[in-house]
Amino acid sequence: MGESIWNFVIHTPDHNEYLWSLRNLTRESHTKNLLAEEIERIIEIIGPSKFSAIVTDAGANVQAARRVVTEKYQHIINIRCIAHAVNLISKDICKTQFADKMLR
């Protein structure tokens, strides 16, 4: 079984992107509480006032963690990653007979 490496990336208002940390959560149960704690730890280190949104994929546990965090920090917006959604939709489309014929 592979490892479960989670990345935490910070995007700044001037469009810079920083890899804040990589966390090996292989041996952890990816509960909403664990993930919320990981996100909150970063928010507290950097400062809650410097955050405007949290963006993640659509996993149920991750969505629940975003809700936990945004309930605590009500000025932070809870957003699902559109790029991830488009990727999932594209994969589903590519599985159709029509797409299979077009891609051959």
30-69 per-position pLDDT tens digit = 999 999 999 999 999 999 999 999 999 888 999 999 999 9
Q: What confidence score (pLDDT) does residue 1 get?
A: 65
Mean residue pLDDT of the chain comes to: 91
- Cβ neighbours of residue 102 under 8 Å, at least 6 residues apart? none
Q: Which of 91, 6, 14 is nearest to 57 (CA)?
A: 6
**3-state DSSP assignment of residue 9:** strand
- Confidence check: pLDDT of 101 > 70: yes
Model pLDDT for residues 72-88, shown as the tens digit of each residue = 999 999 988 888 888 88
Cα separation of 60 and 45, whole Å? 26
- Confidence check: pLDDT of 99 > 80: no
Domain boundary assignment for the chain? 5-103
- Confidence check: pLDDT of 103 > 80: no
